[in-house]
């Protein structure tokens, strides 16, 4: 199948992989996979120069394909990854209000969600539950898992249309009402939980009144619990969003992520997401939604040095369970 990587010059070529590592969805590869042509781009500096010269073309291809995997580029450490992203002229997204514990590695590179290896992270748009979210995401493979640990990706407009065709009434209600997310935040980070970020680090303060003020700014209501944890309920947020550039609607929510994944000693996943009027999600509908996402998902196997560039409007991502060690790093852009 033809791809349009010719716009990038002759230093890279498109790579194709068999399912489930890459799929053809509605006549187009998902994701687009780029690799250096024979003998090209042998150092990270050469790679950075190439990226700098091709940034507009790369961004145009991201808009078309939704996700690009850069494979076998000479990016041997987190610093190279940081430089690679900066050559595209992106600005870092300040990570305030997200649910996962994270640490800075170098520059604007963060660790990804450090939740336990045996915990599946369901498909989501990054920070879909927050009023501000990163537009472009980069992930970098420092070391792949011994087993598992894929980062599944899902084309969001495609699954939106599929779910709407199967459950039109549910999608209509969802689009009219929007959803609320309910989460109980511990006082301090709880690394045993995928949603264990404490209220102190979420709101960057030790002062409960300051946390309350920040909740207020976000339109989030709160309640203090006896053990010092904070129960938060977001304002109604849209579950479907139209991409301002294309008008295409995206399955832009954490409905399944919350319904299946927001589980720890404090949180009950089935109560973690509600229609804005307080009604619970129907289990049989959630099964359909989950199956549709699963059927569309692409699971490529990470290789060291891989960079995954994700348009956060166009694709959902998640994380499969794995056997450690595994280190995937992230760079989130405004």
Nearer to Fe ion, 186 or 318 (CB): 318
Choose the binding region for Fe ion from 3-11, 125-133, 169-177, 238-246 (rule: CB under 5 A): 125-133
Choose the binding region for Fe ion from 16-24, 119-127, 144-152, 244-252 (rule: CB under 5 A): 119-127
Helical H segments across the chain, by residue range: 44-65, 78-86, 156-166, 168-177, 199-202, 208-218, 255-261, 283-296
Nearer to Fe ion, 215 or 332 (CB): 332
CA distances from 147 to 296, 298, 324 (A): 22, 17, 8
CB of 258: closest distance to Fe ion in angstroms?
A: 13
Residue 278 three-state SS: coil
CB of 308: closest distance to Fe ion in angstroms?
A: 11
How many angstroms separate the CA atoms of 188 and 199, rounded?
7
Q: Is the peptide bond before 64 cis (omega within 30 degrees of 0)?
A: no
CB of 128: closest distance to Fe ion in angstroms?
A: 9
How far is Cα of residue 108 from the mean position of the Cα atoms in its chain?
Answer: 17
Choose the binding region for Fe ion from 62-70, 118-126, 263-271, 297-305 (rule: CB under 5 A): 118-126
Instruction: Give me the phi and psi of 85, to 5 degrees please.
Output: -70, -40
How many angstroms separate the CA atoms of 209 and 213, rounded?
6
CB of 124: closest distance to Fe ion in angstroms?
A: 6
Closest residue to Fe ion using C-beta atoms:
126
Choose the binding region for Fe ion from 37-45, 53-61, 123-131, 268-276 (rule: CB under 5 A): 123-131
Neighbours of 303 (CB within 10 A): 11
Nearer to Fe ion, 5 or 256 (CB): 256
Count of residues interacting with Fe ion (CB under 5 A): 1
Nearer to Fe ion, 44 or 197 (CB): 197
Please give the residue ranges that form the binding site for Fe ion (CB under 5 A). 126
């Amino acid at each position: 199948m033809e791809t349009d990587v010719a716009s990038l010059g002759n230093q890279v070529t498109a790579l194709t992989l068999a399912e489930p590592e890459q799929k053809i969805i509605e006549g187009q590869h998902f994701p687009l996979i780029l690799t250096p042509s024979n003998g090209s781009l042998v150092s990270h500096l050469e790679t950075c120069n190439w990226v700098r010269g091709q940034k507009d073309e790369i961004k145009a291809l991201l808009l078309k394909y939704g996700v690009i995997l850069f494979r076998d580029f000479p990016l041997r450490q987190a610093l190279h990854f940081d430089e690679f992203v900066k050559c595209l002229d992106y600005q870092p997204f300040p990570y305030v209000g997200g649910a996962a514990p994270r640490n800075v590695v170098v520059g604007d590179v963060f660790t990804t969600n450090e939740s336990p290896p045996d915990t599946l992270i369901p498909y989501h748009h990054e920070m879909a539950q927050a009023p501000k979210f990163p537009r472009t995401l980069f992930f970098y493979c420092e070391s792949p898992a011994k087993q598992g640990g894929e980062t599944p990706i899902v084309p969001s407009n495609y699954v939106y249309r599929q779910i709407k065709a199967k459950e039109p009434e549910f999608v209509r209600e969802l689009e009219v009402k929007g959803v609320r997310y309910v989460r109980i935040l511990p006082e301090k980070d709880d690394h045993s939980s995928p949603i264990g970020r404490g209220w102190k680090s979420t709101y960057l303060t030790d002062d409960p009144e300051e946390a309350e003020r920040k909740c207020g700014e976000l339109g989030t209501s709160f309640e203090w619990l006896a053990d010092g944890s904070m129960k938060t309920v977001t304002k109604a947020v849209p579950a479907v969003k139209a991409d301002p550039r294309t008008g295409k609607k995206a399955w832009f929510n954490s409905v399944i992520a919350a319904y299946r994944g927001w589980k720890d000693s404090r949180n009950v996943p089935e109560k973690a997401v509600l229609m804005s009027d307080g009604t619970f999600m129907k289990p049989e509908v959630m099964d359909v939604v989950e199956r549709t996402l699963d059927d569309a998902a692409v699971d490529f196997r990470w290789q060291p040095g891989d960079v995954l560039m994700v348009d956060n409007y166009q694709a959902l991502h998640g994380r499969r369970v794995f056997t450690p060690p595994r280190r995937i790093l992230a760079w989130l852009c405004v």
